[in-house]
Amino acid sequence: MSKPIVILGVFVADTSYRADRAPRMGETIMGNSFALGPGGKGSNQAVAAARVGGDVHFITRLGRDPFADMALATWAGAGVQPAISQHDDSYTGAAYIFVEEASGDNAIIVCPGVAGTISPADIEARAGLIGTAGVFLTQLEQPLDAAMRGLELARAGGAVTILNPAPAADLPQGMLGLCDYATPNESEAEGLTGVVVKTVDDATRAAVALRAAGVGTAIITLGENGALFHDGDEPVHVPAFKAGPVVETTGAGDAFNGGFATALARGDAPLEAVRFGCATAAISVTRPGTAPSMPSLQEVQTLLRG
């Protein structure tokens, strides 16, 4: 029986622009295409987790505007249960995403809007929900003090705690010690540890440093090279899966975290949960968009069967 997954994070509307290259300052260029869709790391992770079978509750703040309507419709479609408040005095978040046409690589600016004002008091208001979670997952798009309080309440309630330290930030003292798992990518791992991550061996060194800082298990996501798992025993490199040509990498980390959280919540062994997360991410990058790219449980199971 899958335990509840509680995710704290941000919803933003993704405004995605595809072009051959990014414009230089002061320059206007013609793009190749535009798309508007649901995004935000926490929301994407919630959608990913729900689509692969998780019992997912999402904590955030929204405005009252068309982007909030998009959020609610997205969660209803995926099966995410919102634990939210709505506010008239600010806006629902939005993100600018530039996608390089040839490679699928991206550069992003996030404006979280009213979700940028999530406070520890908002987290206290959801203490009952967080306290009954099997898995609690958060990132760093909302204020750090709210994420910290969520991790504290989850740890006190016995949940498995996951921190996806994205976007990179200087963390409060003691935050990493509240994390059963931390899931940075290469650049985030470098920001946390000072170790430049270019290879699997580099990732191992960064993972050792994260464990020394208090993390229970460090998982460094490595894009097309999969993930590096280190729980204090021998580090394990989990290769990436190939699910087809890469279209867009924007939501890959969120797909990984959502899939990983769901696998843990249903009782998979941690390494198997990493493989499940990698398979979820591998399918997501074969499709455009973030939340719309998240695969179904059947698709992930089919890929894992190979």
Rounded Cα distance, 254 and 271, in Å: 18
Spatial neighbors of 113 by CB under 8 A, at least 6 apart, are 12, 63, 90, 91, 92, 93, 94
Taking residue 8's Cβ as centre, other Cβ atoms within 10 Å add up to 28
CB 214, CB 176: distance < 8 Å: yes
Rounded Cα distance, 46 and 5, in Å: 9
How buried is residue 194: exposed, middle or buried, by Cβ count under 10 Å (0-12/13-18/19+)?
exposed
Which of 145, 180, 254, 268 is catalytic? The answer is 254
Residue showing tokens 């399918």: 283
Rounded Cα distance, 176 and 58, in Å: 22
Q: What is the pairing mode between strands 56-62 and 5-8?
A: parallel
Residue showing tokens 């994260």: 210
Task: Mark whether 89 is an active-site residue.
Answer: no
Q: Tell me the catalytic residues.
A: 254
